[in-house]
Amino acid sequence: MTNIIQKSTTTSKCSCKGCNNQATSYILTKQKVYLCDECFEKLASQAIANRTPKSPQNTIKRKLDKKREENYE
Ligand SMILES: [Zn+2]
């Protein structure tokens, strides 16, 4: 799988609105989206915050826990 976040090797400016920082990385989209460190952090934390709390991992764990409980009865 290709990393969708690539290190920027050019001197492109950050693509975020109102941001004039130099980009340190870019996202591999049809049109490259350049991001500076600051916006990258913002994007990352927002992406994590927006993630649905029910991750498949948790669902599996809950099922296993339930099974374990049943076995103890
Ligand atoms: Zn920026």
Q: Note the Cα 49 to chain centre separation in Å.
A: 10
The rounded Å distance from CA 18 to ligand 1 centre is: 8
How many domains does the chain fold into?
Answer: 1
Express each pLDDT in 39-59 by its tens digit. Answer: 999 999 998 898 877 666 677
Tell whether the model's pLDDT for residue 22 goes beyond 90: yes
The angle formed by the CA atoms of residues 17, 20 and 34, to the nearest 5 degrees, is 70
Nearest of 24, 28, 20 to residue 37 by alpha carbon? 24
Provide the residue range defining the domain that includes 60. 5-72
- Name the band, by pLDDT with cuts 50, 70 and 90, for residue 17: very high
pLDDT the model gives residue 55: 63
pLDDT the model gives residue 54: 65
Are the C-beta atoms of 34 and 23 separated by less than 8 Å? yes
Exposed / middle / buried, residue 34 (Cβ in 10 Å: 0-12, 13-18, 19+)? buried
pLDDT the model gives residue 39: 96
pLDDT the model gives residue 56: 66
The rounded Å distance from CA 44 to ligand 1 centre is: 13
The rounded Å distance from CA 4 to ligand 1 centre is: 17
